[in-house]
Amino acid sequence: MNPPDDRRALNRPWGLLAELTHACPLHCPYCSNPLELVRRSRELPTEEWERVMREAGELGVVHVHLSGGEPLLRPDLAAIVAAAVRSDLYTQLVTSGLGLDGARLDELAAVGLHSVQLSVQDADPVNSELIAGRRSFAAKEKAAAAVRERGLPLGLNVVLHRRNLDSIEEIIALGEAWGVERIELANTQFYGWALLNRATLLPDRDQLARAEEAVERRRERLAGRIELVWVVPDYFDGVAKPCMGGWGAVSLTVSPEGTALPCPAAYALEGLEAPNVREHSLEWIWEESEAFNAYRGSDWMREPCRSCAHRDTDFGGCRCQAFALTGDATRTDPACRLSPDHHIIQRIAAARPADPTAVPFTYRKLGGQQTPPATAPSTAAPSPATPYDAPASTAAPSTAGAPPGGGSRPAEGPPPGR
């Protein structure tokens, strides 16, 4: 007799993060792209991305985040958006705003682009450009205006850290002034480039508490007009984040060269062989591949997770953080106070430099880690690099029922896990 087919119970993915290119005009020191960036010559061609969009729709993906690097650097972006729209996917462009002029927006809107998420590094242009590693603020402002003129929904994404958390009120006011509908305030998650820059980016508990209070005050005032999303930091409260809503449970990422994993930080996990969309269908990758099954569910867990009451809500925390800090991806996320490795996080948090500006940024750059001087280059030569493009997971969906016929309260799902 065959064993029961439990794949039938497997959730379909809700979201696809399509990292179309790692090329980017910005050099943000917390970039979510891997340290080893994919060169342009190795990027998937148009027809492969079109196939990925078709397969994503068939698999049940609802949202696609067209991201990078800077996706506008793909001249075939409109063709890829069109393929996604043909597959009934809701398309969101995740962009630095550089290169997003009226003509390009018209081209994308004409094929059905649904929404735009724009990154900004700070409300203060000088600090924003210092963090981004190049002149960029005015271009972002113009891009925001162009999106609003065309009536497309616009969200702002701001990665938060020690060097901009004190400007949180100004950042929210900037979003208001730019006419956004949603502001994602994403505390830095320390992987890859951000891990390299942790000494200068890591805030402390007091700075975070002040910022969070300010967000709550503003949230009340903005209710019904602008949605504020606070992506919690995990170094300070002893609670692990339910990363990505569970491994291979909610969304998937495809890299510029076609490798697919449950999240964009997972490329750093040693021993995890990422399947490639050039060789396998998305369906096979989601359902059958070893990589997507490696940390699914709770069978892979060790103690203290295995017997923990939270194991089905926090999923043991983040596999990439466990690996980055302990060298073993099957251990409990050290962010959790129940982890035997929690002292690692506590020690890091206690060892911050007194003056963060004394530590220069290691800017994200193709072909190696470089440390330019810690001043804003006013006319930095554009070289490929990226803004932090949120490891944009689609939140586990919430439910809303309506009469006639039972429960009728629209309920919120959890915020996107990161």
Partner 1 sequence: MDADWRPALAASILLRHDKRRDADLLVMPERVVVLSGQAASVLRLCDGNRSAGDIVAELERRFPGAPVADDVTGFLDRVRDEGWLR
**Binding-site residues for [4Fe-4S] cluster, please?**
24, 28, 31
121 contacts 129 by C-beta, under 8 angstroms: yes
* Shortest distance (Å) from residue 49 CB to partner 1: 21
Taking CB under 8 A as the rule, does residue 178 contact partner 1?
A: no
Candidate list 10, 35, 90, 204; residue touching partner 1; CB under 8 A: 90
To the nearest 10°, report the CA torsion of 362, 365, 369, 374.
-30
Q: Give, as ranges, the residues between 4 and 63 that touch partner 1 (CB under 8 A).
A: 12, 14, 58-60, 62-63
Closest CA to 186 of 213, 215, 220, 149: 215
CB atoms within 10 A of CB 102: 14
Question: What is the 8-class DSSP label of residue 262?
Answer: S
Candidate list 99, 102, 153, 304; residue touching partner 1; CB under 8 A: 153
Total site size for partner 1, rule CB under 8 A: 41
Taking CB under 8 A as the rule, does residue 87 contact partner 1?
A: no
Tokens of 355: 């003056």
* Shortest distance (Å) from residue 408 CB to partner 1: 5
Print the binding letters for residues 306-345 with partner 1: x by CB under 8 A, - otherwise: ----------------------------------------
Taking CB under 8 A as the rule, does residue 221 contact partner 1?
A: no
Tokens of 241: 């984040």
Tokens of 303: 């103690």
Q: Give, as ranges, the residues between 389 and 408 that touch partner 1 (CB under 8 A).
A: 392, 394-395, 397-408
3-state secondary structure of 109: helix
Nearer to partner 1, 86 or 310 (CB): 86
**Feature table: binding site:** 24, 28, 31
CB atoms within 10 A of CB 119: 28
Which residue has 């969309």 as its token pair? 277
Which window, 77-85, 178-186, 201-209, 210-218, contacts partner 1 (CB under 8 A)?
Answer: 178-186
In angstroms, rounded to a whole number, what is the distance separating the alpha carbons of residues 217 and 270? 43
65 contacts 94 by C-beta, under 8 angstroms: yes
Tokens of 195: 């891990």
**H-helix or E-strand spanning residue 185:** strand 182-187
In angstroms, rounded to a whole number, what is the distance separating the alpha carbons of residues 171 and 153? 19
Candidate list 3, 224, 327, 368; residue touching partner 1; CB under 8 A: 224
Nearer to partner 1, 128 or 393 (CB): 393
| Residues within the interface to partner 1 (CB under 8 A) | 12, 14, 58-60, 62-63, 88, 90, 92, 114-115, 117, 151, 153, 155, 181-182, 184, 224, 227, 229, 392, 394-395, 397-410, 413, 416
